[in-house]
Copies of this chain bind each other. A is one copy, B any other.
Amino acid sequence: MQTNKKVQVGIVGGTGYTGVELLRNLASHPSVEVTMITSRSENGVAVADMYPNLRGIYDLQFSVPNIEQLKTCDVVFFATPHGVAMSMAKALIEHGVKVIDLAADFRIENLALWEKWYGMTHTGADLMTDVVYGLPEYYRSRIKEAKIIANPGCYPTSILLGILPLLKTGLVETTSIIADGKSGVSGAGKGANVAMLGAEMSESFKAYGVNGHRHQPEMVEKMNEVTGTSVDLTFVPHLIPMVRGMESTIYATLTQDTSQEAIQALYEETYASEPFVDVMPAGSLPETRMVKGSNMCRMAIYRPAGGGRIVITSVIDNLVKGAAGQAIQNMNILFGLDERLGLNQVALLP
């Protein structure tokens, strides 16, 4: 293999959990080379000093972000707080560099709505025509042509994959959708935060954001876009006392009597060729550990007691399919690579 053919990768803001996950997964990718990783606060620190699991694997140091240097990359991942990618993306895409944003800057097309939920001014309105929502299972053909990928939120990934087949076919009432989501604490990031201390979150469970969570408008917009309807979604997230993993239990009311078998078949057909969606056999009970450290989404579909309600349970690793893994999957699509490269990790069980 010729080194000069490798995709040159830059990572902006790599000190958080999505940063280390990009590095962990890319370590096994045969066709990329991570050439720079930036952090203002950690300038000069070796990546392996911050993340000792990478000792002996990466010889990189964090550097101060420099737009000129980033232009030498083929693709730049933003693993930054909200607002950073929109300020740097234009210079990069004008130079032909692909941008994949793991934050929320480009996830919602309705910028007024975005500004309401994220509490800041959106400065990248002119970039939005170059943006594609990076959920490959529903936007793959457009991703191939995109300049900027808005990598989806973790809850949206698990919930959209779970409910869209039913919504697209009109089999469920658009006003009936309830998504009860549960996430491990790594979803809250690596910032110092009393509520996320081990002594606070361990051995406890709670709902949060009941009055509204930023992933709700993101999901509703994509549901409406994919289905051409207007969906009413109730979404309640919860915090699980564990590090990694996300489970979403989705409830929807059938518009017509449809057999469990027909719905199972619909899901199996929908995702038959998808490398990272696993529709488990009827009666299965997906557990988050079945996807821990891997890019898989596994799901099962139920029609309890043959009633009018469908229940879908969908699990992902919030840091992989819910963040860094999906970003790499999008990169692979952007560069015409096998979508599975760098994403062959088997889930760690037990």
A contacts, CB < 8 Å to B: 17, 20, 24, 27-28, 51-57, 178, 180, 182, 184-186, 188, 190-194, 196-208, 210-212, 232, 234, 236, 238, 240-245, 247, 249, 251, 278, 280, 283-294, 298, 300, 302, 304-305, 307, 309, 311, 313, 315, 319, 344-350
| Inter-chain pairs besides A202-B203, A206-B285, A234-B311, 8 sampled, C-beta below 8 Å | A20-B350, A28-B346, A52-B287, A55-B278, A182-B238, A204-B292, A205-B287, A210-B304
**Cα–Cα, bound, A223→B278 (Å):** 38
**Cα–Cα, bound, A245→B203 (Å):** 8
A211 & B247 in contact (Cβ 8 Å cutoff): no
B203 & A201 in contact (Cβ 8 Å cutoff): no
A28 & B344 in contact (Cβ 8 Å cutoff): yes
Residues of B within 8 A of A180 (CB): 180, 249
A291 & B188 in contact (Cβ 8 Å cutoff): no
**Cα–Cα, bound, A240→B210 (Å):** 19
A289 & B204 in contact (Cβ 8 Å cutoff): yes
**Cα–Cα, bound, A186→B201 (Å):** 11
Task: List, sorted by A's number, 5 A–B pairs whose CB atoms are closer than 8 Å.
Answer: A24-B346, A178-B309, A185-B197, A202-B202, A202-B242
Assess A53 versus B349: contact at CB under 8 Å? Given A196-B198, A202-B242. Answer: yes
Which of B200, B203, B245, B347 is the one whose CB lies under 8 Å from A53? B347
Residues of B within 8 A of A185 (CB): 197-199, 202
Question: Which residue of chain B lies nearest to A320 when distances are taken between CB atoms in the complex?
Answer: B348
Which of B17, B194, B210 is the one whose CB lies under 8 Å from A311? B210
Number of copies: 4
**Cα–Cα, bound, A15→B247 (Å):** 26
**Cα–Cα, bound, A313→B300 (Å):** 25
A291 & B202 in contact (Cβ 8 Å cutoff): no
Assess A304 versus B247: contact at CB under 8 Å? Given A198-B196, A198-B197, A346-B24. Answer: no
A192 & B197 in contact (Cβ 8 Å cutoff): yes
B236 & A249 in contact (Cβ 8 Å cutoff): yes
**Cα–Cα, bound, A305→B233 (Å):** 11
A205 & B240 in contact (Cβ 8 Å cutoff): yes
Residues of B within 8 A of A186 (CB): 199, 350
Residues of B within 8 A of A298 (CB): 52, 55
**Cα–Cα, bound, A188→B197 (Å):** 10
B238 & A203 in contact (Cβ 8 Å cutoff): no
- Distance in Å: Cβ of A55 to nearest Cβ of chain B: 6
Residues of B within 8 A of A55 (CB): 278, 280, 290, 298
Assess A205 versus B245: contact at CB under 8 Å? Given A210-B285, A210-B304. Answer: yes
Assess A203 versus B289: contact at CB under 8 Å? Given A197-B197, A241-B241. Answer: yes
Interface centre among A17, A51, A53 (most CB of B within 10 A): A53
Residues of B within 8 A of A347 (CB): 53
Question: Which residue of chain B lies nearest to A203 when distances are taken between CB atoms in the complex?
Answer: B242
Residues of B within 8 A of A236 (CB): 249, 304, 311, 313
